Amino acid sequence: MIIGIVPGIIVENGVVSSYEDRAVSIRSITVKNQCDILCNQIVKEGYLDDPSSETLNGEFTMLSNLYSGRILVIDRNFRVIKDTYDLDRGKYMISAEVLNCFNGEEISNYDDNNRYIEMTVKIEAPNSDDVLGVMLVSISTDEIVAGMDVLEKKGMLLVIIIALLVLVLGYILSGVLVRPFARVTKSIEDLTDGYLEENISVPDYTETELITDAFNKMLARVKALDDSRQEFVSNVSHELKTPLTSMKVLADSLVGQENVPIELYQEFMQDITEEIDRENKIITDLLSLVKLDKKAADLNIETVNINNLLELILKRLKPIAAKNHIELILESFRPVNAEIDEVKLTLAISNLVENAIKYNTENGWVRVSLNADHKYFYVTVADSGIGIPEDSINHIFERFYRVDKSHSREIGGTGLGLAITRSAIVMHRGAIKVYSKEHEGTTFSVRIPLIYIA
Ligand SMILES: Nc1ncnc2c1ncn2[C@@H]1O[C@H](COP(=O)(O)OP(=O)(O)O)[C@@H](O)[C@H]1O
Ligand SMILES: [Mg+2]
């Protein structure tokens, strides 16, 4: 808007003031020419000695009327011999301008405050530079100024018209340009009210299509996150409720009976204790999972001897393995020291070894091996167990996922172990892979950088 109006005003001012300059200079030149002609006549008719010439006086009057000005003729003695206003005749006029003119320097000044042009014209002797007298002329420029006012008004009108045009055009254009984005905003707002249910679509403009595409991609991610969060919450509630339901059933059946034998009491109480243990285990696992979901900055990185770490894990799990008649083997191919969070990595590997023991067969084996290259160390946990069906293998890292719910329950899992393991390994910028064949066995292989990358 300003871009349209400001130049308009500047141009208008420029036009008006240059008109003024030109009009004044044309007027000055015209008057000067007339005066020069008069000067010639003055000399010719000897007007300076005898100012009674009818013709010349008539011409002076005409000239001064024509330009609404005043003409003074001054002779060599600085005496005013003619004044068209008849005020100063006979008086002496010794001003700087007149003096200068006698010295050959004519002037032509424009006084734009009082609106008149003042000029001096020398009356020269023919064929010589002798200055015989001076004509002092002042003419009004009211007319020019009046013309300028008209011009200025017209210019102003033009500027106002331009400004209005710019305003209207600007309004229309900005509407056209902004409309697509306003529609996108509106769509997004509609969506926020309805929350995540559908995609937005403003396909009428290329620009908006790009924006909406990007927005829809982001939306899809948010939806996925939201879905997994909801699923997690419902899983958690379900898992936490199951032991409670069992306890309630057990307790109810005791309360509902009279004269319950002490043996039954003991048996049911035993079952209730087991359920409590289970509930406790689920909560413990959930808490470690939540802890692992936090920022990687929470890692407590130290240089740890991995051989020792694995030995300790196996030692701790040996009793469970022995109970199931399972052989635990550790193979270390070289000494390995790495920068890791000892507690979290112990948790991760323990879960793998625990699974290998739990999902094994009678008289089976579990082999844990450690190797390293210049960049990573590798831990594999292989077992001779029941294996994982092919269609389940992609799900085993999901929270609460268990291949065989009833069987696993008997074994006493929560379905959170592998989720915890994977989180811990990912926090170490590592990777985990699984190979398995049903009824033959399973191998988990873990790769972790020797030097922690923050
Ligand atoms: N070594 C393994 N052999 C066979 N199946 C396994 C093995 N490790 C894990 N699984 C399967 O993956 C599921 C998820 O394991 P995990 O997350 O540790 O939960 P859980 O608490 O049931 O052990 C288990 O329920 C089991 O079905
Ligand atoms: Mg487990």
pLDDT in tens, 212-240: 888 889 888 888 888 888 888 888 898 88
Q: What is the number of the ligand closest to the CA of 422?
A: 1
Which of 291, 282, 243, 250 lies closest to 268 in space, CA to CA? 250
Residue 411: predicted pLDDT: 64
Q: Reduced to 3 states, what is the DSSP secondary structure of residue 130?
A: coil
Residues with CB under 6 A from ligand 1: 351, 355-356, 359, 383, 385-388, 396, 401-403, 408, 413-418, 442
Ligand 1, atom 23, residue with closest C-alpha: 413
Q: Which domains does the chain have, with CATH numbers?
A: 2-148 (3.30.450.20), 206-289 (1.10.287.130), 294-449 (3.30.565.10)
Q: What is the number of the ligand closest to the CA of 389?
A: 1
Residue 122: predicted pLDDT: 87
262 to 254, 256, 265: CA distances (angstroms)? 11, 15, 5
Q: Relative to the CA of 360, which ligand 1 atom is closest? A: 3
Task: Kindly report the backbone phi and psi dihedral angles of residue 384, in degrees, each rounded to the nearest multiple of 5, phi listed first.
Answer: -105, 35
* Pocket mutation for ligand 1, best pick of 324, 390, 396 (most atoms within 8 Å of C-beta): 396
How many CB atoms within 10 Å of residue 58?
Answer: 10
Q: Tokens for 356, please give them.
A: 């290998």
Residue 183: predicted pLDDT: 78
* Pocket mutation for ligand 1, best pick of 359, 367, 401 (most atoms within 8 Å of C-beta): 359
Report how far ligand 1's centroid is from the alpha carbon of 274 (Å): 20
Report how far ligand 1's centroid is from the alpha carbon of 417 (Å): 8
Give me the residues paired with residue 436 across strands. 442
* Pocket mutation for ligand 1, best pick of 277, 357, 418 (most atoms within 8 Å of C-beta): 418
The model scores a pTM over 0.75: no
Report how far ligand 2's centroid is from the alpha carbon of 315 (Å): 18
Q: Relative to the CA of 416, which ligand 1 atom is closest? A: 17
Predicted confidence pLDDT, tens digits, the chain (454 residues):
666 667 777 877 777 778 888 888 888 888 889 888 888 888 888 888 888 888 888 888 888 888 888 888 898 888 888 888 888 888 888 888 888 888 888 888 888 888 888 899 888 888 777 888 888 888 888 888 888 888 889 888 998 998 999 999 989 988 888 888 887 888 778 777 766 567 777 777 777 788 888 888 988 888 888 888 888 888 889 888 988 999 999 999 888 888 889 999 999 999 999 999 989 988 998 888 888 776 655 788 999 999 999 999 999 999 999 998 999 999 999 999 999 999 999 999 999 999 999 999 989 999 999 999 999 999 999 999 999 999 999 999 998 898 887 655 566 778 889 999 999 999 999 999 999 999 999 999 999 999 998 7
Which of 251, 283, 278, 274 lies closest to 264 in space, CA to CA? 251
Phi-psi category of residue 424: left, alpha or beta, with phi > 0 → left and psi -120 to 50 → alpha: alpha
Q: Which class for 276: exposed (0-12), middle (13-18), buried (19 or more C-beta within 10 A)?
A: middle
Q: What is the number of the ligand closest to the CA of 402?
A: 1
Report how far ligand 1's centroid is from the alpha carbon of 118 (Å): 112
pLDDT in tens, 323-375: 989 999 999 999 999 999 999 999 999 999 999 999 999 899 999 999 999 99
